[in-house]
């Protein structure tokens, strides 16, 4: 078999395995198998791997780094691959918001008003509103970004008031060892906010190592990198 075909087979196999894990986790929680979206995190992997994963049927891709992400999006468009949905899932500095507003469909990491305001101002008028998840910091780790839980309501009110943005939900990155506890807290906050913001339909939590825990606690979107593309170097 040529290397191209075997690489496609490897990615197809990984995709099937991850989808099986999602189905099994949904069944264990008596949830519908289609209630959890799969976001393929392609950071550090070349555009070519994204093209093969798209060929295997995957449509949603997540990127962490602005420059790497926009280069990949441009390269795939150039190859004629349209119809993919791009999610920005990395920390976002305010001087890097423009390329994100111009090239991505979703941002999962909005954690302060300045970022929301800039994304709204910079979203091109001809594009659909940018879908937004607010990143919530539940852990006490210094290194993690995210809005403090008590600030999330005010941030949600701002995002909901900006027509270029569409408030879709909440996201978190748990502290290792505290996944279940923090996923449960995020789900509780999500349920509480949904009555004020009925458009909120996305609870973005769970990665390769903890997708089962996340689904047990109500995740509607798992962000999976290494289990799909392989170990990152």
Ligand X SMILES: *Cc1c(COP(=O)(O)O)cnc(C)c1O
Q: How far is the CB of 164 from ligand X (least distance, A)?
A: 23
Nearest residue (CB) to ligand X, 14 versus 64: 64
Which of the stretches 14-22, 66-74, 136-144, 202-210 binds ligand X when contact is defined by CB under 6 A? 202-210
Nearest residue (CB) to ligand X, 148 versus 209: 209
44 binds ligand X (CB under 6 A): no
Count of Cβ atoms closer than 10 Å to residue 45 Cβ: 23
Nearest residue (CB) to ligand X, 128 versus 231: 231
Nearest residue (CB) to ligand X, 162 versus 217: 217
64 binds ligand X (CB under 6 A): yes
Which of the stretches 80-88, 125-133, 149-157, 220-228 binds ligand X when contact is defined by CB under 6 A? 220-228
Which of 36, 207, 215, 221 binds ligand X (CB under 6 A)? It is 207
Residues near ligand X (CB under 6 A): 41, 43, 64, 89, 173, 207-209, 223-227
């Amino acid at each position: 078999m040529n290397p191209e075909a075997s690489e496609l087979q490897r990615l197809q196999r990984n995709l099937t395995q991850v989808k099986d894990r999602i189905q099994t986790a949904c069944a264990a929680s008596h949830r519908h198998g289609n209630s959890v979206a799969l976001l393929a995190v392609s950071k550090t992997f070349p555009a070519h791997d994204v093209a093969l994963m798209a060929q295997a049927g995957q449509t949603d891709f997540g990127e962490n780094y602005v420059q790497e992400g926009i280069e990949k999006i441009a390269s795939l468009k150039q190859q004629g691959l349209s119809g993919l949905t791009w999610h920005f899932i990395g920390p976002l500095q305010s001087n890097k918001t423009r390329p994100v507003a111009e090239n991505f469909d979703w941002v999962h990491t909005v954690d302060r008003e300045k970022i929301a305001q800039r994304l709204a101002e910079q979203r091109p008028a001809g594009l659909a509103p940018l879908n937004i998840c607010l990143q919530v910091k539940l852990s006490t780790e210094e290194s993690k970004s995210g809005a403090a839980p008590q600030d999330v309501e005010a941030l949600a009110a701002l995002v909901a008031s900006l027509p270029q943005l569409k408030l879709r939900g909440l996201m978190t990155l748990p502290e290792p060892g505290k996944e279940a506890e923090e996923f449960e807290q995020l789900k509780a906050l999500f349920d509480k906010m949904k009555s004020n913001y009925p458009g909120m339909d996305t609870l973005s939590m769970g990665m390769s190592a903890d997708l089962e825990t996340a689904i047990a606690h109500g995740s509607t979107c798992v962000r999976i990198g290494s289990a799909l593309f392989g170990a990152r170097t």
